[in-house]
Amino acid sequence: MLSLNNDPLTLFPTSYDLIVERINAISPIKYAKTRNFINGDVTYLSAYISRGVISVQQIKEAVLQKGYKPYEIEKFLQELAWREYYQRVWQVKKEELFTDLKQTQPDFLHYQIPTAIVHAATGIKVIDDHINTFYSTGYLHNHIRMYLASMVCNNAKSHWLTPARWMYYHLLDGDLASNSCSWQWVAGSFSSKKYYCNQENINKYTDTSQVQTFLDDSYERIATMPVPNALEAITPLDVKTNLPYTEVPKLDTSKPTLLYNSYNLDPLWRATDNVNRVLLLEPSHFHKYPVSEKVIDFIIGLSKNIDGIIVYVGEIDAIIKQYADLTISNAFISKEHPAFNYYPGIKDNRDWMFPNTEGYYPSFFSFWKKGMSSKNKK
């Protein structure tokens, strides 16, 4: 169990060697048994998966090479597959990812966020403590994310979109697909029913014993209660990205340019190719999807694993202009990603866990069944 009283770059080191050490240390059976507990044996790899440093397929292969059979570690593999499922949803739904996907969120009252959430003042001590830790580290345990989303959407009756933006802003492992779909799953717009939590459940999985909170009641009563006093006050979300300044890089246009971004920081990708390598941090992207300064520092730190990388803060047009007299279709290479479909040139496939599951699946388990069919097994 890692200490959460650290700065983000200590809690989540950016060295590729240390990331590989974490992969090698995975205990998939312990993970399955304890992952829902705050002190459970989780992997602390999500930030590296989200940023494209490593892939779920890479993790799957590393674990299976230890001799585990897929049926023995099914829960662990399913958690990897959930992330891939959400990426497939994004590929198909595109901008609809940021709307209610299956049905309108039931019973919401507004599009803002409870003030008590922003200020870590809900009165539920373990939740407030984790919000404060979240601000300092960029990390939230998945169960805490679910508790927060349930409190915000189903107790405070906020629409999920603004609170999801608040969480994404601070997450080192911010993944627009996982974040948006997970919030909608809790809120009932991407699932058949809302997810509720109560104080007894929170105490069980956080090793606490608080009582007499607004969640210290049965699920049936919580589902019908009015907005708790602690969550009545609401506030608009005001976040923006502060990017560093860089000059426009002068590229060797006799070579193609590999385009990296905040979702593709893979140091092994085309590692032996004779190319320019540019980490592109476009202000337009981060205006649309703001992230904190801690997140930007983390992204830039991870990019240092890539030999010869040039960090450029600016729009892709300034890069394209340098190839004005050349064939653009061969000048640029990137990895396919829904956030960056507008990149010109060649788009390599990502390293999928289930490469034959393109398209939209109405449920995770229909996706899982297809992925685990004999055709897709390795």
Whole-angstrom distance, CA of residue 204 vs CA of residue 143: 11
> What band does 11 get if pLDDT is binned at 50, 70 and 90?
confident
Q: Is the pLDDT confidence value at 336 over 70?
A: yes
Nearest CA-CA partner of 216 in 225, 186, 128: 225
Among 8-17, 242-251, 301-310, 347-356, the range scoring the smallest mean pLDDT is: 8-17
- Per the model's pLDDT, the better-predicted residue between 101 and 323 turns out to be 101
**277: three-class secondary structure by DSSP:** strand
Residue 375 has pLDDT above 60, yes or no: no
What average pLDDT does this structure show over 250-277? 97
Amino acid residing at 225: M
Residues in a beta bridge with 347? 334
Query: What are the pLDDT digits (tens) for 269-288?
Result: 999 999 999 999 999 999 99
Q: If pLDDT is split at 50, 70 and 90, which confidence band does 10 have?
A: confident
* Burial class for 23, CB neighbours closer than 10 Å (0-12, 13-18, 19+): middle
Q: Provide the mean pLDDT of the chain.
A: 95
CB 80 within 8 A of CB 353: yes
Instruction: Single out the residue of 220, 95, 237 nearest to residue 166, CA to CA.
Output: 237
- Span 101-131, pLDDT tens digits: 999 999 999 999 999 999 999 999 999 999 9
- pLDDT at 328 (0 to 100): 66
Per-residue confidence (pLDDT) for residue 337, from 0 to 100: 98
Quote the pLDDT of residue 1: 46
Q: pTM for the complete prediction?
A: 0.95
192 has a pLDDT exceeding 80: yes
Position 4 scores a pLDDT of 53
